[in-house]
Amino acid sequence: MRPARGCCCHFNNAINNCFNLRYRRTLKTPSLAAEFPFVAVASPPTRLSLSLRRRLLTVASSSAATMSSSPSYDKELAAAKKAVSLASRLCQARSQAVVSLVLQRELPADPFSLVAEEDSGDLRDDSAQDIRARITELVNDTLSTDESSSSTLSVEQVLKAIDCGVSEGGATGRHWVLDPIDGTKGFVRGDQYAIALGLLDGGKVVLGALACPNLPLTSIAGANQQPSSGEVGCIFFAKLGSGTYMQPLEGGPAVEVHVTATENPEEASFFESYEAAHSLRGLTGSIAEKLGVKAPPVRIDSQAKYGALSRGDGAIYMRFPHKGYREKIWDHAAGCIVVTEAGGLVTDAAGKDLDFSKGRFLDLDTGIISTNAKLMPLLLKAVKESLKEGESCSSSM
């Protein structure tokens, strides 16, 4: 999450972490169509219940009609993948600068609008001169690894790139949505974090890319923030109507992924936030109990949860923030399409689709839940019952 004003130095404590991150090869990304011959299928698609199949077929028919007269988003997705891959080497404001610069360079003919978490306010203070210089150096070093970059940027150019994220988004036009470091505390701890980038077109999420530098390439099912000895670093990407794919962050073949097909709640596991302050664990525990979930929760930071869910590492994701908290669109846009294109559903606590057309915030009912189509009716029922019980307890006190 974004630090309070005046807390730029909070991230200075983690700068050494940034410097020690292993530089990765630049991800040279052809169009998605060019990658398809190399794509392997990881698991069969989820079979849907009759009612939900009808609902999704209606949506699919509408989407197909729309897509027949819409852009393919191939070049936008390629730019998004390159942007998050390069940005995964950096921290917060630096990451935002790189994403902003790469998108504008890769898509020069498109009007540019970015809804993002950071601005350069704290960095422009006199006391931040050394940090500004360091950020500029890192951004230039990162961009220089990409063959399409040739010029060296000034401090002011880097600060202006950060400040491109002031757009309010909305229901008209195209808007990129970025969380430059989703899961700041996870990043500082050396655990899970993500660079999350989505594209809105007419208020709808049409593509997303999630770079997860610390997420193992193999399943974390049954894990609970345990270190992995296997290869880590993956990128999940999806565009409307084309499925979800996972690729090593350092490059390599893309693999199509799908949410788990399990329909037995006792066999399901669920993800929730690592930080207790980010979610009502008592509520999620009650919901899991009503469902009959046997496995303990898997608690990890950031939208890496959406990526893990999309490839079937778990069956359910629940997020119920404390009262008064407003969800930001950059915390869910990329993850939402990654899961839905993998065959899952993402809704609020009342079963309504998330609405990204209202600006920088999501107006939703109580919380966010995600699972496959088979488990969603049971999950919604358990959520409704648990929320009702919570209201009864509150009113009797």
Find, among 276, 256, 260, the residue nearest to 268 by Cα.
Answer: 260
Q: Could you give the CA distance from residue 90 to residue 87 in angstroms, rounded to a whole number?
A: 6
Q: Could you give the CA distance from residue 73 to residue 359 in angstroms, rounded to a whole number?
A: 22
Find, among 101, 253, 206, the residue nearest to 164 by Cα.
Answer: 101
The set of residues, in sequence order, having a beta carbon less than 8 Å from that of 183 and lying 6+ positions away, is 191, 192, 193, 194, 301, 302, 303, 304
331 is in an annotated binding site: yes
Q: Could you give the CA distance from residue 314 to residue 220 in angstroms, rounded to a whole number?
A: 8
Q: Could you give the CA distance from residue 249 to residue 195 in angstroms, rounded to a whole number?
A: 12
CA angle 113, 116, 117 (to 5 degrees): 160
Q: Could you give the CA distance from residue 342 to residue 306 in angstroms, rounded to a whole number?
A: 10
181 is in an annotated binding site: yes
Q: Could you give the CA distance from residue 213 to residue 192 in angstroms, rounded to a whole number?
A: 8
Tell me which amino acid residue 240 is: L
Order across the sheet with 344-348: list the strands: 298-299, 270-272, 316-319, 368-372, 344-348
359 DSSP 8-state letter: S
Q: Could you give the CA distance from residue 233 to residue 142 in angstroms, rounded to a whole number?
A: 17
Q: Can you read off the two tokens belonging to residue 135?
A: 């950020």
Find, among 220, 237, 202, the residue nearest to 297 by Cα.
Answer: 220
Find, among 202, 203, 238, 213, the residue nearest to 76 by Cα.
Answer: 238
179 is in an annotated binding site: yes
Using CA atoms, how far residue 51 sits from 57, 60, 268, 373, 385, in Å, is 10, 14, 22, 10, 22
What are the backbone angles phi and psi of residue 354, rounded to the nearest 5°?
A: -70, 135
Contact 330, 178 (CB under 8 A): yes
Binding residues for Mg(2+): 117, 179, 181-182, 331
Binding residues, by number, are 117, 179, 181-182, 331
